[in-house]
Structure 1
Amino acid sequence: MTGKTRRFTIRARLAVAIAVLLAVIGALMLGVVYLFMRYVPLYSLTPMQGLEAPSSVPQATTHPSAVISNTDPAFAGPVISSTDDVFRLLLTASITAFVVLAVVGAIAGWVIAGRMLRPLQAINRVAKSAASGDLTQRVSGDGPHDELRDLAETLDDMLSRLERSVGEHQRFAANASHELRTPIATTQTLLDVALADPDLDLPALRRTAERIREINQRNRETIESLLTLADAEGGQLRQERVRLDALVHDALRAEESAAEALGLTVEAELVPATLTGDPALLRQAVANLVQNAVRHNVRDGRIRITVDRTSTDVCLIVENSGAALSEELVATLTEPFVRGHGRVAGPGRGHGLGLALARSVSEAHHARLVLQARDKGGLITEVRFPADDDGLA
């Protein structure tokens, strides 16, 4: 067979299960009643002598017996004259009650199962939409807070995360293709212009070569940043003890000349603190945060970096002056290739991967990265890492 045999739906199986359960319980109760009526009471019935008996109530005999009869001609029900008649009537009533109970149980089970499984129908509909590529649908369950409601909320949360992730990856792919295609096209143009010039001299050729070298250098840096970002998101981490304050000190020393060129005032309060993680990724993330604070600053601006720790976490705060940023823009700064001043890159400008890499490294180390726009312009970046249990370094 090429196709699977279709089984009963869950609703049908629940209805049958409820009906069978009620029928079994009813059969057990009726069986207990039947056995009790047969073996526990002592019957002594006087057979009837026709239907001509007087209409008065029969008088009781001296021994424990009774005459069960009805001589009313209008009475059309069964006439009991012996114990066999009692048991036959009891058996008939039991079978009738059993059938009625099974039918009522099946109908009630079908209705109850339908109401109980209604959220599953909505979940199935949303899941089919997601499978077809539509990640905007939500279950939005509003019933009682039970297991099905928990399943619906979990599915909605998963779809929300998946929608954001797919959107980020689509934007990443589009921006990455642009970032990598632009320098290639620029290099091609420079080479075409140089080769088309019949009077190209050595100084012009040298200038062209220098520009191509600069473009290739930026292209190499972009590719290296993308590879580092992929490593951070891949989850393959080395676990070593790392001094966060030492990483910040090294990053500040690397950006010292750039900060002096812009006349930046740098303040650092670095409390000795350790955490466990991948040294290379943490070093790159810290360097990117410090570099971002320098490159996206204003002349004669300020940078304030703080490393602090509590009993539960290690906190790194990088605050820098700069242009005013909207909350909408700040919310997108951790996406790849997003810059605070558009996507046009120039000398000393980044690739738009620094904060994206810092976010990925933070998530890989179970840390939380929060961005906040400063009231007077600029950005505040806060990263909270889980602290080591053995105290300060």
Structure 2
Amino acid sequence: MLTIRARLCLSYAALVAGCGAVLITLVYLYMRYVPSYELPTAPATELDPTDLGLDQVQPAHALEIRTVDDFFENLVIASLIALGILIILGGIVGWVMAGRIIRPLAAINAGANRAASGDLDHRIGLEGPHDEIRDLSATFDRMLASLEHAFESQQRFAANASHELRSPLTTVKTMIDVTLSDPDVDPGELRALAERIRDVNQSNIDTVEALLDLASASNARLVPERIDVTALIDEVAAELTAELEASELTLTTRTAEAWAFGSPILLRQALSNLLRNASRHNHLGGHIIVRTLMSPTATHVTVSNTGATISQETVAQLTEPFARAHGRTLTRGSGHGLGLAIVAAIARAHEGALTLTPNSDGGLTAHLDLPISQTDPVSR
């Protein structure tokens, strides 16, 4: 099997041969049929070398052309010799040029082999002219970066999920062991143990359901519908009335007409998670402000809440599964750390985006951007 370099070299040589053959044919036909040839003859003159002062005479190897046919015969021979030289030179030049052209492909191939072996932090970083091969290299580097991020997120997710599920199970085992070690345990203590186990089990159920919601949002198949985003916000806010009153939180909605195309179930869940996040990660007597704004291409929903001061580094991790910022919640253990991860997954399923920004005076502002074009959401 010939390599790409060999095929390119042969292609260059064949191109030179073809062009040369056409040129020779055209020149031959022109010289044969267009001009008129008359070869005059002169009377022969015999010279004596001694008369010219020459002691020795070397025979001359001259190319004699006596007729028109001799001329064309020599023309064809000379042209074919020149063509052969050009073909050889074309092959050499083609081999060198093909090597320079495919050298970046060798680097890309090496990078692909390293990625196949699990080395995803390698980048090609191809330099040189901005051409198709450099675009391919840049695309490959972006793909590697995306894969590296996905694998790292998956590893963190697996580790965090194991920890989140193992910790309560360990707690339950400890409570049972302590109770069983007491031979004089009374029914009241057993009832209290059962209640604590029920609470821990409910927490596990909530975590598993949140994991299922996250998986569902990440792999959602959308049948886009026109959705009244403002109406969804009002419905979700009404559901949170009791929770807001219990925490003495003030909810202010500054919404205008806003709509988007997508799944009403998923968007309702995203808005519910944003408002619940703003409620639970707040302080007693705090505020929540919800705004909507429409641009020519998207609907923008902003949810801002008061609360503890959060660093930019912490905010950047809040869309990761099980990510929590210490000191943000009203009650210890509130939330399972999947709410914003689910919102981010729903936004991606709608070809939208979730952006989080820490407030300078404490709290968080979430920006949810949703496309208003029916063709934008992509089925997954």
- TM-score of the alignment, normalized to the shorter chain, above 0.5: yes
Tell me the equivalent position of 2:377: none
Cα separation, partners in 2 of 1:288 and 1:272, compared to 1, 3 Å? same
Which whole-Å deviations, capped at 9, do the CAs of 1:178-209 have from their partners, x for residues lacking one? Answer: 11122222222222222232111111011111
Helix, strand or coil: the match of 2:291? strand
Q: In the alignment, residue 34 of structure 2 is paired with which amino acid?
A: V
The answer on whether the counterparts of 1:47 and 1:82 sit within 8 Å (CA) in structure 2 is: no
Q: Separation in 1 of the partners of 2:48 and 2:27?
A: 33
Which whole-Å deviations, capped at 9, do the CAs of 1:16-66 have from their partners, x for residues lacking one? Answer: 1011101111111112222333333333446798894699xxxxxxxxxxx
Q: In the alignment, residue 23 of structure 1 is paired with which amino acid?
A: A
Cα separation, partners in 2 of 1:51 and 1:228, compared to 1, 3 Å? farther
Larger mean Cα displacement after TM superposition, 215-224 or 181-190: 181-190
Tell me the equivalent position of 1:23: 17
Q: Separation in 1 of the partners of 2:45 and 2:210?
A: 108
In the alignment, structure 1 segments of 5+ residues that lack a partner are 1-6, 56-71
Is 1:195 the counterpart of 2:180? The answer is yes
Give 1:184's match in structure 2, choosing from 166, 169, 191: 169
Q: CA deviation at 1:336?
A: 0.5
Higher RCO, Cα 8 Å, sep 6+? 2
Is 1:242 the counterpart of 2:236? The answer is no
Is 1:32 the counterpart of 2:17? The answer is no
Number of residue-to-residue matches in the alignment: 367
Is 1:133 the counterpart of 2:118? The answer is yes
Larger mean Cα displacement after TM superposition, 73-82 or 313-322: 73-82
Is 1:211 the counterpart of 2:196? The answer is yes
Helix, strand or coil: the match of 1:267? strand
In the alignment, structure 2 segments of 5+ residues that lack a partner are 50-56, 375-380
What's the % identity of the aligned pairs?
A: 45
Q: In the alignment, residue 173 of structure 2 is paired with which amino acid?
A: Q
Is 1:316 the counterpart of 2:310? The answer is no
Tell me the equivalent position of 1:66: none
Helix, strand or coil: the match of 2:366? strand
Larger mean Cα displacement after TM superposition, 42-51 or 15-24: 42-51
Tell me the equivalent position of 2:64: 79
Cα separation, partners in 2 of 1:348 and 1:274, compared to 1, 3 Å? farther
The answer on whether the counterparts of 1:296 and 1:322 sit within 8 Å (CA) in structure 2 is: yes
Q: CA deviation at 1:75?
A: 5.1
The answer on whether the counterparts of 1:138 and 1:156 sit within 8 Å (CA) in structure 2 is: yes
Cα separation, partners in 2 of 1:145 and 1:51, compared to 1, 3 Å? farther
Q: CA deviation at 1:302?
A: 1.9
Cα separation, partners in 2 of 1:38 and 1:309, compared to 1, 3 Å? closer
5 Å matches for 1:1-393?
7-45=1-39, 52=46, 76-341=61-326, 347=332, 349-387=334-372
Q: Separation in 2 of the partners of 1:388 and 1:136?
A: 36
Cα separation, partners in 2 of 1:243 and 1:38, compared to 1, 3 Å? closer
Which whole-Å deviations, capped at 9, do the CAs of 1:311-366 have from their partners, x for residues lacking one? Answer: 43222111111222111111111010101128999755111100000001111112
Cα separation, partners in 2 of 1:202 and 1:195, compared to 1, 3 Å? same
Helix, strand or coil: the match of 2:292? strand
Q: CA deviation at 1:386?
A: 2.0
Q: Separation in 1 of the partners of 2:48 and 2:99?
A: 58
Helix, strand or coil: the match of 1:227? helix
The answer on whether the counterparts of 1:228 and 1:281 sit within 8 Å (CA) in structure 2 is: no
Helix, strand or coil: the match of 2:215? helix
The answer on whether the counterparts of 2:281 and 2:329 sit within 8 Å (CA) in structure 1 is: no
Which whole-Å deviations, capped at 9, do the CAs of 1:60-109 have from their partners, x for residues lacking one? Answer: xxxxxxxxxxxx96854422233343233222211210110100100111
Cα separation, partners in 2 of 1:343 and 1:268, compared to 1, 3 Å? closer
RMSD, matched Cα = 2.7
The answer on whether the counterparts of 2:282 and 2:328 sit within 8 Å (CA) in structure 1 is: no
Tell me the equivalent position of 1:63: none
The answer on whether the counterparts of 1:315 and 1:382 sit within 8 Å (CA) in structure 2 is: yes
Larger mean Cα displacement after TM superposition, 320-329 or 86-95: 86-95
Which whole-Å deviations, capped at 9, do the CAs of 1:131-176 have from their partners, x for residues lacking one? Answer: 1111112222222222112211211122121211111111111111
TM score, norm. by length of structure 1: 0.85
